[in-house]
Amino acid sequence: MQTKLKAVLFDWDGTLFDSTGLIARCIQRAAVDIGLPEPEFERAKYVIGLGLRDALEHVVPGLSPDRYGELGLRYRHHYLGSEHEVSLFDGTVEMLQALKARHHWLAVATGKNRVGLDRVLAQAELTRMFDGTRTADETRSKPHPQMLLELLAELNTPVERAVMVGDTEYDLEMARAIGMDRVGVTYGVHSAARLAACQPVWMADDIPALFEWLHG
């Protein structure tokens, strides 16, 4: 498969960036801040990968629109105060550099907003590593495949020569919707069983295993 590969599209949180625990904890804290019961950790974690508004509506359904705005502000407050505590998964930079050296297009398709993605890419010194990026506030949120279609057009890459790599069923389902190959990583948010239901071409348990498959 890798001999035909031209573009590798990655999710960010939970796939390249070890931030899933932090995001879930910040959702919990935000709910408490506005006087709501603290959501269960697994419930908060499960929605990672969706756009923030969609995620909050899943975790805390039934609020009025202004309350979701308040909840989102409290989430951002907690997340921005702690983002420096998390980092890329070990081996991520080396994997990306090796793929780049083989002239693959690299892209990010994420549920983060543009400001958040640009900030964390700059902090990780990866802004110039990626040839294209899409965020949930620029296009339709996962699992709708619009962000993948836009990236493929930008990279001038046919779907059969691209692969989507992600840690959630939202990542894999948006790829499956357009017939794109997909790789699930089991070290992030969703379980191996949930990822397997999306019929990935491969599942990796860590970055070295992902690197080996992509570079194979």
Dump the DSSP string for 105-140: EEEEE-SS-HHHHHHHHHHTT-TTT-SEEE-TTTSP
pLDDT of 46: 83
Q: Can you give the pLDDT at residue 78?
A: 94
Cis amide linkage into residue 158, ω under 30° from 0: no
Per-residue buried b or exposed e for 144-171, using 16+ beta carbons within 10 Å of the residue's own CB: ebbbbbbbbeebebebebbbbbbbbbbb
Contacts of 138 by beta carbon, 8 Å cutoff, 6+ apart: 114, 147
The DSSP secondary-structure symbol of 48 reads B
**Can you say how many angstroms the Cα of residue 63 is from the centroid of all Cα atoms in its chain?**
25
pLDDT at 193 over 80: yes
* pLDDT at residue 2 greater than cutoff 80: no
- Least confidently predicted of 81-85, 87-91, 138-142, 164-168: 81-85
The predicted pLDDT at position 126 comes to: 95
What's the mean pLDDT in 120-142? 95
Q: What pLDDT band is residue 194 in, cutting at 50, 70 and 90?
A: very high
The pLDDT score that the predictor gives to residue 50 is 83
Q: What is the dihedral of CA 125, 129, 135, 141, to 10 degrees?
A: -130
Tokens 């625990």 correspond to 21
What's residue 3's pLDDT? 60
Give the pLDDT band (50/70/90) at residue 151.
Answer: very high
